[in-house]
Structure 1
Amino acid sequence: LTAMADQQQQFYILLGNLMSPDNNVRKQAEETYDTILGQNKVTFLLQAIRDASAAEEVKQMGAVLLRRLLSSSFEEIYPGLTLEMQTVIKTELLTSIQQETSPNIRKKVCDIAAELTRNLIDDDGNNQWPEVLASFSPPQHPRVRYAACNAIGQMATDFAPTFQKKFHDKVISALLQTMEDQSNPRVQAHAAAALINFTEDCPKSLLIPYLDSLVQHLHVIMVAKLQELIQKGTKLVLEQVVTSIASVADTAEEKFVPYYDLFMPSLKHIVENGVQKELRLLRGKTIECISLIGLAVGKEKFMPDASAVMQLLLKTQTDFNDLEDDDPQISYMISAWARMCKILGKEFQQYLPVVMGPLMKTASIKPEVALLDTQDMENISEDDGWEFVNLGDQQSFGIKTAGLEEKATACQMLVCYAKELKEGFVEYTEQVVKLMARWRFLNCGSRVRVAAAESMPLLLECARVRGPEYLTQMWHFMCDALIKAIGTEPDSDVLSEIMHSFAKCIELMGDGCLNNEHFEELGGILKGKLEEHFKNQELRQTKRQDEDYDEEVEESLQDEDENDVYILTKVSDVLHSVFSSYKEKVLPWFEQLLQLIVQLICPTRPWADRQWGLCIFDDVVEHCSPASFKYAEYFLRPMLQSLCDTSSEVRQAAAYGVGVMAQYGGETYRPFCTEAIPLLVRVIQAADSRAKENVNATENCISAVGKVMRFRPECVNVNEILPHWLSWLPLNEDKEEAVHTFDFLCDLIESNNPIVLGLDNANLPKIFLIIADGVANESIKSEDACSKRLANVVRQVQVSAGLWTQCVSTLNETQQKAIKDLLNTA
């Protein structure tokens, strides 16, 4: 025992040294700490936390290290502990939460308990520490229940939606019961916070059975807490409850309609009367709650209150200039306006003059920035409110995140207005474009850069009403900014958004939107992206040969790979938009990329490379035919071989290619269409061709066979293939290809094709079935031209009573309704 006590004392000295301002002492202590075995480490740390006589900073350091140990080395340490030791840890933590007098240490112990609970949920979502759920029961000390709420809230976020599916019955009732504990407001507030986390990620279908009970409890608590606010001025629980209501409404959507009148009067009352400074956060959260409920229940239910709510918001807005910069209401207001815009649609336009001033002011915040080398970085942690972007060469770019959240939210709201109001937003497009185009640079957070990119095509749509000249001016302003951003953006998530938006803009602007300098710069950038793609793949292969290679390394390599492939899809997007706008005129420019694209479709490359390489050649054939044939030597053989590839994504890209060859390729592609047919048929007739993972590829093959029969009938024995093709319809997954097949089907029926109609129209019931399924699965939409043609087919049958009865009698209820819908809408 004495030896143990001595070791513990030594350990306290070690913990003290870990906090030493002297670098050498600290380094020495870290090295010693690293040599202590896992089990001993846990024992010493627990003892440090539980020792009433230990200094507070020693206990605090012990708690921080134990949490770190459980979060970073759980798998190495915990399973190796004896069962007895595992039980000791759980018991000691729960006891410590009950008995610890220092709020700071207690919070840290709660965090450790939450971390342990999180790690004790297995892959199937089973909780290995059921005592934590039992920690809610009223006989437990409030601090234990407080910790349990913390843990539940954390797990609801980290393990969604598995956690919700497994524990909804236990957790919802436990949290509601805990929220009713009027004598412990802190516990109530934490239970409400955990309920928010739980409902935010809870599938709607799971929540609905509890909706009545949830709403009634929340209403009782809200009324009680509103009284408390009036009498005693306490507001903590009310703030959380208001957000809980918002979260429940957000998940329940239209199912919240019956409860709307229960809450709206009280919520409006809070916004109207809660004007004191200390109620700013409550008021902000209530504004958020009202707008979320409005969005959930929809325009019809919300309309009678909409103008009163708008007046309340306008009043707050008028006082907006008097609000202090750190007023929490600002960000809630900005989001609420955007939700109101979604609810009211075009009717919202009248409020823009009031809303846009503060929104632009918030969106224009200039955050504090710094260029740091690696040394400086060590002295600033991300916890101090900085976000970092690594620039390579030992340098990082830092952005102070204070105010950045609001700025990012404001930018997303501008995107929302442009999207919802379209031409109604035209007056503001110029100032917004000027603002957004500045943000291709790094001196703002990633969310701001994403919003800036997203806004560009939407703003062009808004600007269209002012005519082509205004539109072109605006586009020139954007275009330089976007191309520069594609070349310099270091964050791959942001980069993919910028490339996606750039592609959308080119599609919107069409032929002539890029000048020679643009093309030159873009060509260089895309070439660089493709070369980088190959280089990164080689680097990953090298890392797989490394001696440190293990499962964890493989996981991070696969993440990198997914990121790379995602950028490749965006390169394909950009090329697609250029081909579809410029057609064969762009081929000389494309030749600088040709060899790199050919490299993508080599049989030895990963399937995703081959898929996207083929997609790019599909675009060349579709948009540049017949001039595309001069590149046929590079892609035709690989494309035909890929029709039977083991990867369904590769098969799909190849089949689409055959379809566009038939439709647009011209004479020169004829022999290849003939050669492709038996390969396509083999894929369609394979036993598992309709399995979930294969169905899209198979439907592209069916569509390709249809296109060959329709556009190149001389390449195939149409009479022999047609009955088979008919038996493969309708296409339910690939909506775009479905339209092609229905168009062809209409051609065949309208020309009274005897094979399709059958002897004495015997195939009509089968055709009705195909049409009904197409409508039911939304493969035929009322705006498609073929829907009118199909409706006419149905009307012609209607004339003959006997035939009509025969066709309709084979349909089930859903299919009959679909036929009726088609007749009513087309």
Structure 2
Amino acid sequence: MAVSACGEGCHIHMEQMLDNIVDAVQPFTTDQHPRVRYAACNALGQLCTDFGPNCQKKYHRKIVPALLGVLDDEANPRVQAHGAAALVNFCEECPKHILVQYLDAIIAKLEAVLNNKFKEYMEKGNKLVLEQVITTLASVADTAQDKFLIYYDRFMPKLKYIMENVVNPAYRLLRGKTIECISLIGLAVGKEKFMQDCNQVMQLLLKTQTDQDDMADDDPQITYMISAWARMCKILGKDFTQYLPLVMGPVLKAASLKPEVALVDSEDMKEMENSSDWQFVTLGDQQNFGICTSGLEEKATACQMLVCYARELKEGFAEYSEDVVKIMVPLLKFYFNDSVRIAATESLPYLLECAKIRGEKYVATMWGDYICPNLLKAIEIEPEQSVLPEYLASFAKCIEALGKGCLSEQDMGSLVSLMDKLLKQHFQRHVERQEKRKDEDYDDIVEESLMDEDEEDAYVLSKIADVIHSFFGTHKESFLPVFEQIMPYFEKLLATDRPWSDRQWGLCVFDDVLEHTGPVSFKYKDLFLEHMISAITDKTPEVRQASAYGIGVMAQFGGEIYADACAECIPRLVSVIEHAESKLVENGPATDNAISACVKICQFNNSKVNVDEILARLVSWLPILSDEEEAVHVYSYFCDLLDKNHPAIMGENASNLPKLVAIVGETVHRELIQEDTPLYQRMLNIVKQVQTNQDVFQVCISQLSEQQRQALSEALTDAK
């Protein structure tokens, strides 16, 4: 249990020890004492949460079998339930291609436990393990997505039975979790499969909706219901519009809920403070400000549901957009609840999209007169450092939705002032933390707190970079005069003595300058180019990735003026790609971007490099491991070369064929290329071409991993 508690607080120190920690904890899942088994599950689950997804990528072979073993512990329901709960922690951050390897085993175990516990519930009313297994099933489906399709019919009838027949108030949570599970499974398998049960589920949801007046305010079903409606909207898409008149009333009511507030003296507070429904802030010696918290979670969930409706239905939600904007914009200052403010700001770009059907003038007025000034003000005065980045992210999405010229000169001036203030604060907060590290009271506990602040500031900086990205993406070089006013801050971020996250986000901003202003960016080269080239081999993977991406867009968009710089980068990029640890999980994204940068140099800016020399090594560098965007670029070029039977790719006497098939197999297994794209078909055609010679094909297949073989087999079958 101590190990469980340490993970979040001692993240950096513990990450280096994970090998030993997992090896130490895992055997205790089979300890003879149930409390020890319970604690081991707790630790494994917490490690998955605190160190995911790397923990899942590195230790899945140890964690999954250990947790599945605990699910057999029929004699100790609490341990059994906790094993299932830890499996949820594992699934939440687990890459799909890893979970798929265990799906048959997980599903078989969950089905057996569900059947046993459902029988136990029917006979004795026991619900603890049943509730948890249903939650775990939902989490597995949520991660597995379309791979859950083949298991759908094994679970849906029983889940519908529980939803329809478990009406006893004592089992409200069980019913709520079942509603959640059904909607998550529906979302996972998609509309086509779910339609066979969709109408019945919708009728049951509507019945619960009409019965909602009889529900207590604290009925857990309410939150699950609201979330389920949002998922049903996502599943049905535009077809959900017909249900809006039935569901919008309660949602708007919940989102508009005004909490009860009171000023009470200290004596009255003593009587009220034991109530879980009230929270207090002391304003002076005798005065206390209290807020009734019951209903706040429902309000937050309702706001999140409105976000989903606006996002999914677009013009189908247009008739509600004005009413919802009038609810959401004032909630930007709803300081009683962070989740409400976050949902309010998240909704705004989607509501603008919804309103577009009413004409550009209407949208411009909604944005310019109402949303924009209030959002800028909210960013300026937001008290929580954890909420501020969500406001910045929303602002960036609004700019992307509206395009060039969406800010008046006055609003642009306000934005520059705001950016200036935030960036000044960023540097000042860093100085203050450095001073605290010199203080005589400094110790490990203080350091953990300072590191939390470091992470918060880095996240805010990433969203400032998003705002800059949105303007360069929509305004191109016309944004440069505005950017020049705050450019010195981003130059300062690149200094070698800055924290790695500063250098990462400083590079990302200059990546945007390169990508969106092309050769014009050359006039700023003295500010960033040397830093970008040296950062290719930085010790931090995130910095290497940002640098390599920048080199790639420099090659693609910078023009001949950058040819010498591109040539200078090649040896550094190759050293990153061919490093002994380049394919480790934590280095994968940086390596992918380095490969892509080499490809872009070969393709777009090759006047000063030996292309054939680079291509001779390309096959040995592949496959791409995780970056979907770069995978599209690299494999498009890869297929172009194959179409020409390029000797460097084919190898002498077509000796590279087994490697080429393995590259396609791994790419299909990792689902890096979307199935409904021409590129996916081109990659499958490589295998089909080899398949015409069965002897050669069998040699290629024999050298694949089991996962690669299975992924290719399914893909080729589906393609017929």
TM-score, shorter chain, exceeding 0.5: yes
- AA matched with 1:619: D
Given the superposition, is the C-alpha separation of residues 467 and 729 from structure 1 closer, same or farther in structure 2, using an over 3 Å criterion? farther
Compute the displacement of 1:596 (Å). 0.9
- For the pair 1:446 / 2:338, whether they are aligned, the reply is yes
Compute the displacement of 1:663 (Å). 1.4
- AA matched with 1:568: L
Higher RCO, 1 vs 2 (CA within 8 Å, ≥6 residues apart): 2
Cα deviation digits, residues 192-241 of structure 1 (max 9, x gap): 99788667547686865643553244223322356xxxxxxxxxx66x67
Compute the displacement of 1:558 (Å). 0.9
Compute the displacement of 1:258 (Å). 2.8
Compute the displacement of 1:164 (Å). 9.0
- Name the larger-Rg structure: 1
**What residue in structure 2 maps to residue 354 of structure 1?**
246
**Residue of 547, 550, 558 corresponding to 1:665:** 558
Compute the displacement of 1:291 (Å). 4.6
Compute the displacement of 1:823 (Å). 10
Cα deviation digits, residues 265-298 of structure 1 (max 9, x gap): 3542344xx5xxxx3x645752552452453375
- For the pair 1:530 / 2:418, whether they are aligned, the reply is no
**Residue of 381, 392, 397 corresponding to 1:504:** 397
The separation in 2 between residues aligned to 1:761 and 1:127, in whole angstroms, is: 51
Q: Is the 1:460–1:505 contact (alpha carbons within 8 Å) kept by the matching residues of 2?
A: yes
**What residue in structure 2 maps to residue 105 of structure 1?**
none
Cα deviation digits, residues 408-433 of structure 1 (max 9, x gap): 11112222333443443333222222
- AA matched with 1:269: N
**What residue in structure 2 maps to residue 632 of structure 1?**
525
The separation in 1 between residues aligned to 2:671 and 2:400, in whole angstroms, is: 26
Compute the displacement of 1:399 (Å). 4.5
Q: 345-354 vs 534-543, which deviates more?
A: 345-354
Q: 162-171 vs 489-498, which deviates more?
A: 162-171
**What residue in structure 1 maps to residue 135 of structure 2?**
247
- For the pair 1:224 / 2:123, whether they are aligned, the reply is yes
Compute the displacement of 1:168 (Å). 5.4
**Residue of 9, 29, 34 corresponding to 1:133:** 34
The separation in 2 between residues aligned to 1:462 and 1:664, in whole angstroms, is: 34
**Residue of 530, 533, 539 corresponding to 2:432:** 539
Alignment of 1:44-83 (within 5 A): none
**Residue of 369, 373, 376 corresponding to 1:483:** 376
The separation in 2 between residues aligned to 1:470 and 1:772, in whole angstroms, is: 50
**What residue in structure 2 maps to residue 406 of structure 1?**
298
Q: Is the 2:179–2:224 contact (alpha carbons within 8 Å) kept by the matching residues of 1?
A: no
**What residue in structure 2 maps to residue 810 of structure 1?**
700
The separation in 2 between residues aligned to 1:770 and 1:195, in whole angstroms, is: 36
Q: Is the 1:287–1:336 contact (alpha carbons within 8 Å) kept by the matching residues of 2?
A: no
Cα deviation digits, residues 69-99 of structure 1 (max 9, x gap): xx99xxxxxxxxxxxxxxxxxxxxxxxxxxx
- AA matched with 2:470: S
**Residue of 539, 548, 553 corresponding to 1:646:** 539
Q: Is the 2:41–2:67 contact (alpha carbons within 8 Å) kept by the matching residues of 1?
A: no
The separation in 2 between residues aligned to 1:430 and 1:316, in whole angstroms, is: 28
The separation in 1 between residues aligned to 2:623 and 2:47, in whole angstroms, is: 39
Compute the displacement of 1:606 (Å). 1.5
Q: Is the 1:285–1:332 contact (alpha carbons within 8 Å) kept by the matching residues of 2?
A: no
**What residue in structure 2 maps to residue 700 of structure 1?**
593
Given the superposition, is the C-alpha separation of residues 293 and 562 from structure 1 closer, same or farther in structure 2, using an over 3 Å criterion? same
Alignment of 1:760-771 (within 5 A): 767=660, 769-771=662-664
TM-score by length of 1: 0.69
Q: Is the 1:257–1:301 contact (alpha carbons within 8 Å) kept by the matching residues of 2?
A: no
**What residue in structure 2 maps to residue 49 of structure 1?**
none
- For the pair 1:295 / 2:184, whether they are aligned, the reply is yes
Compute the displacement of 1:788 (Å). 5.6
The separation in 1 between residues aligned to 2:478 and 2:302, in whole angstroms, is: 41
Q: Is the 1:399–1:445 contact (alpha carbons within 8 Å) kept by the matching residues of 2?
A: no
Q: Is the 1:422–1:462 contact (alpha carbons within 8 Å) kept by the matching residues of 2?
A: yes
The separation in 2 between residues aligned to 1:727 and 1:720, in whole angstroms, is: 13
Q: Which runs of 5+ in 2 are unaligned?
A: 7-21, 51-61, 92-98, 142-147
Cα deviation digits, residues 456-510 of structure 1 (max 9, x gap): 2333344445554444444434333332222222222222222222222222222
Given the superposition, is the C-alpha separation of residues 371 and 584 from structure 1 closer, same or farther in structure 2, using an over 3 Å criterion? farther
**Residue of 305, 309, 313 corresponding to 1:417:** 309
**What residue in structure 2 maps to residue 428 of structure 1?**
320
Compute the displacement of 1:717 (Å). 2.1
**What residue in structure 1 maps to residue 54 of structure 2?**
none
Cα deviation digits, residues 32-64 of structure 1 (max 9, x gap): xxxxxxxxxxxxxxxxxxxxxxxxxxxxxxxxx
Aligned partner of residue 689 in structure 1, secondary structure: coil
Q: 706-715 vs 537-546, which deviates more?
A: 706-715
**What residue in structure 1 maps to residue 508 of structure 2?**
615
RMSD over equivalenced CA pairs, Å: 4.6
Cα deviation digits, residues 132-181 of structure 1 (max 9, x gap): 8379xxxxxxxxxxxx99x999989878779997985897566x5467xx
Compute the displacement of 1:627 (Å). 1.7
Given the superposition, is the C-alpha separation of residues 302 and 609 from structure 1 closer, same or farther in structure 2, using an over 3 Å criterion? closer
Given the superposition, is the C-alpha separation of residues 544 and 193 from structure 1 closer, same or farther in structure 2, using an over 3 Å criterion? same
Given the superposition, is the C-alpha separation of residues 682 and 792 from structure 1 closer, same or farther in structure 2, using an over 3 Å criterion? same
The separation in 1 between residues aligned to 2:504 and 2:47, in whole angstroms, is: 33
Aligned partner of residue 493 in structure 1, secondary structure: coil
Q: Is the 2:511–2:553 contact (alpha carbons within 8 Å) kept by the matching residues of 1?
A: yes
**Residue of 602, 605, 609 corresponding to 1:709:** 602
The separation in 1 between residues aligned to 2:155 and 2:615, in whole angstroms, is: 56
Compute the displacement of 1:554 (Å). 1.1
**Residue of 557, 561, 565 corresponding to 2:454:** 561
Alignment of 1:385-404 (within 5 A): 385-386=277-278, 399-404=291-296
- For the pair 1:268 / 2:268, whether they are aligned, the reply is no
- For the pair 1:215 / 2:132, whether they are aligned, the reply is no
The separation in 2 between residues aligned to 1:530 and 1:397, in whole angstroms, is: 34
Compute the displacement of 1:601 (Å). 0.5
Q: Is the 2:500–2:540 contact (alpha carbons within 8 Å) kept by the matching residues of 1?
A: yes
**What residue in structure 1 maps to residue 202 of structure 2?**
310
**What residue in structure 2 maps to residue 286 of structure 1?**
175
Alignment of 1:664-743 (within 5 A): 664-743=557-636
- AA matched with 1:743: S
Given the superposition, is the C-alpha separation of residues 781 and 374 from structure 1 closer, same or farther in structure 2, using an over 3 Å criterion? farther
Q: Is the 2:536–2:544 contact (alpha carbons within 8 Å) kept by the matching residues of 1?
A: yes
Q: Is the 1:756–1:763 contact (alpha carbons within 8 Å) kept by the matching residues of 2?
A: yes
The separation in 1 between residues aligned to 2:402 and 2:697, in whole angstroms, is: 47
Given the superposition, is the C-alpha separation of residues 816 and 595 from structure 1 closer, same or farther in structure 2, using an over 3 Å criterion? same
Cα deviation digits, residues 535-577 of structure 1 (max 9, x gap): 1111111111111111111111111111111111111111111
**What residue in structure 2 maps to residue 43 of structure 1?**
none
Q: Give me the identity figure in percent.
A: 44
Given the superposition, is the C-alpha separation of residues 212 and 770 from structure 1 closer, same or farther in structure 2, using an over 3 Å criterion? closer
Compute the displacement of 1:447 (Å). 0.8
Given the superposition, is the C-alpha separation of residues 585 and 261 from structure 1 closer, same or farther in structure 2, using an over 3 Å criterion? closer
Q: How many residues in Structure 1 have an aligned counterpart in Structure 2?
A: 660
The separation in 2 between residues aligned to 1:661 and 1:220, in whole angstroms, is: 64
Given the superposition, is the C-alpha separation of residues 386 and 698 from structure 1 closer, same or farther in structure 2, using an over 3 Å criterion? same
The separation in 1 between residues aligned to 2:710 and 2:82, in whole angstroms, is: 47
Aligned partner of residue 472 in structure 2, secondary structure: helix
Compute the displacement of 1:442 (Å). 3.2
- AA matched with 1:734: D
**What residue in structure 2 maps to residue 459 of structure 1?**
351
The separation in 2 between residues aligned to 1:342 and 1:435, in whole angstroms, is: 22
The separation in 2 between residues aligned to 1:320 and 1:610, in whole angstroms, is: 53
The separation in 2 between residues aligned to 1:259 and 1:699, in whole angstroms, is: 39
The separation in 1 between residues aligned to 2:392 and 2:414, in whole angstroms, is: 14
